[in-house]
Amino acid sequence: MLEGKRILLVIGGGIAAYKALDLIRRLRARGASVVPAMTQAAEQFVTPLSVSSLAGVEAHRALFDLTREAEMGHIQLSRAADLVVVVPATADLMAKMAGGHADDLPSTLLMATDKRVLIAPAMNVRMWEHPATQRNLRTLIADGVLVCGPDDGDMACGEFGPGRMAEPETIVAAIDAALSAGPLTGRRVLVTSGPTHEPIDPVRYIANRSSGAQGTALAEALRDLGAEVVFVTGPADAPRPTGARVIEVQSARDMLEAVDAALAPDAPAIDAAVFAAAVADWRVASASNSKIKKRPDGTTPALEFAENPDILRTVARRAEGRPGLVVGFAAETDDVIAHATAKRLRKGCDWIVANDVSPATGIMGGTENAVTLISDAGAEEWPRLTKTETARRLAARIAAHLTGPDHEDRGAA
């Protein structure tokens, strides 16, 4: 898909700049040509010689270079590419882009281009979570900028959290998707994610250990295949997917209400629905409006539980407006395949993605997953993968199902 494509690669000044070297190698291996442009700060992390050697052309570095301007002005350079990619997109570069600054060659190229721009953010977790960065991110998305990552992970500074740049292979996939229509272009997919919080009183609630990472990864993988994603999430720790319509909810009943609204007759049709959320099975029947206090006599309050609505079953058994593909998740701790198989039949969904969330697996709240895809065709066990890769495989299967049997081989990859 990248054969003959021309990528203008803007390299920002962050420790993740070293990954740009691997990205150049991967892009050229797939037939793309790469024209690099470096910020001055980028040269503190990777040398222009290394970048130029891998790209096969000299890296552009200075805005006021008479020789360069005579041979190819920065306006022409910014428009000769099929896609502009910023790796890493530092907090400073994102701020410049959002504010429309053009005080060096890379920022001027980004202002002058008439092509699509894809950024791969990378920075310290606190910088990523800072209101200014999140405000700039929203501005860039509204401007049509595509975003790949960031991932959760260990930082060079020793901290852990969102802000780690996406791996080169993930960025290549995002570039591929940006330069192609994508098999899910024109399709709408609903994804639920995260835990639900069921109130006991205004202070306390019932919850579970779901981080929402798998749901976010799945929404981003479907987005990268061209889908319009409606993302309904409980109060998850994971960052929300960029490029999706995000609907925040708290309880299971809130989530059902949001799902029903997305599937309403007057709403655009949903082609597939994936229920990755870890919805609480029960709630407190009569949550207190005031904080429950300790009793002087030492007795404990009795909590009466009520069963929550079964969102997956409700949607899977809809008489009207049922999505063409309904996928559930089954988080189990024992007899995983047997329980998940029975759940699929009981709920009436098309597929169940089963996984073992016993504490020893580290899957619930972790960065990896090991799933078995259960359908009418049987149970297919997948190897343990990152949640990003698991999401990409499942998204490919969904695309194959929705676009017909001619795509099955690609979907199984």
Lowest mean pLDDT among 173-187, 261-275, 284-298: 173-187
Backbone angles phi, psi at 28, to 5 degrees: -70, -35
Q: With bands split at pLDDT 50, 70 and 90, how would you rate the model's confidence at 156?
A: low
Q: Which of 68-72, 161-165, 290-294 has the highest mean pLDDT?
A: 290-294
Q: Average pLDDT of the chain?
A: 90
Residue 291 labelled as part of a binding site: yes
CA distances to 263, 277, 353, 372 from 356, rounded to whole Å, are 30, 15, 10, 9
Question: Residue range 14-18: average pLDDT?
Answer: 94
Q: With bands split at pLDDT 50, 70 and 90, how would you rate the model's confidence at 410?
A: very low
- What is the model's pLDDT at position 362? 86
Q: Which amino acid is at 227?
A: A
Q: Is the pLDDT of residue 67 over 60?
A: no
- What is the model's pLDDT at position 68? 54
Domain 188-412 adopts which CATH fold?
Answer: Rossmann fold (3.40.50)
- What is the model's pLDDT at position 64? 61
Q: With bands split at pLDDT 50, 70 and 90, how would you rate the model's confidence at 149?
A: confident
Question: Residue range 141-153: average pLDDT?
Answer: 83
Identify which has the larger pLDDT, 117 or 72: 117
Q: Is the pLDDT of residue 173 over 90?
A: no
Q: List, for residues 326-363, the tens digit of each pLDDT value.
A: 999 999 999 999 999 999 999 999 999 999 999 888 88
Q: Is the pLDDT of residue 409 over 80?
A: no
Q: Is the pLDDT of residue 303 over 70?
A: yes
- What is the model's pLDDT at position 109? 92
Residue 96 labelled as part of a binding site: no
Residue 312 labelled as part of a binding site: yes
- What is the model's pLDDT at position 152? 78
Q: With bands split at pLDDT 50, 70 and 90, how would you rate the model's confidence at 299?
A: very high
Q: Is the pLDDT of residue 35 over 90?
A: yes
Measured CA to CA, the distance from residue 28 to residue 399 in angstroms comes to 27
- Which of 134, 304, 328 has its CA nearest to residue 218? 328
Name beta bridge partners: 38: 11
Residue 160 labelled as part of a binding site: no
Q: With bands split at pLDDT 50, 70 and 90, how would you rate the model's confidence at 155?
A: low
Q: With bands split at pLDDT 50, 70 and 90, how would you rate the model's confidence at 367?
A: confident
CB 336 within 8 A of CB 343: no
Domain boundaries, the chain: 6-178, 188-412
6-178 matches 188-412 in fold: yes
CA distances to 23, 151, 158, 276, 304 from 16, rounded to whole Å, are 11, 12, 14, 31, 52
148 is catalytic: no
Q: Is the pLDDT of residue 308 over 70?
A: yes
CB 365 within 8 A of CB 372: no
- What is the model's pLDDT at position 398? 97
Q: List, for residues 252-279, the tens digit of each pLDDT value.
A: 999 999 999 999 999 999 999 999 999 9
- Considering the domain delimited by 6-178, tell me its CATH architecture: 3-Layer(aba) Sandwich (3.40)
CB 312 within 8 A of CB 275: yes
Cα R_g (the chain), whole angstroms: 24
Q: Is the pLDDT of residue 408 over 70?
A: no
Measured CA to CA, the distance from residue 175 to residue 146 in angstroms comes to 9
Other Cβ atoms less than 10 A from the Cβ of 296: the count is 6
- What is the model's pLDDT at position 411? 33
Residue 309 labelled as part of a binding site: yes
Give the chain as a 3 state SS string: CCCCCEEEEEECCCHHHHHHHHHHHHHHHCCCEEEEEECCHHHHCCCHHHHHHHHCCCCECCCCCHHHHHHCCHHHHHHCCCEEEEEEECHHHHHHHHHCCCCCHHHHHHHHCCCCEEEEECCCHHHHHCHHHHHHHHHHHHCCCEECCCEEEECCCCCEEEEECCCHHHHHHHHHHHCCCCCCCCCEEEEEECECCEECCCCCEECCCCCCHHHHHHHHHHHHCCCEEEEEECCCCCCCCCCCEEEECCCHHHHHHHHHHHCCCCCCCCCEEEECCECCCEEECCCCCCCCCCCCCCCCCCCCEEECCCHHHHHHCCCCCCCCEEEEEEEECCCHHHHHHHHHHHHCCCEEEEEECCHHHCCCCCCEECEEEEECCEEEECCCEEHHHHHHHHHHHHHHHHHCHHHHHHHHC
Say which of 29, 72, 157, 342 is annotated catalytic. Answer: 157
Q: List, for residues 78-120, the tens digit of each pLDDT value.
A: 778 889 999 999 999 999 999 999 989 999 999 988 888 999 9
Structure tokens at 329: 């998740």
- What is the model's pLDDT at position 88? 97
pTM (two decimals)? 0.61
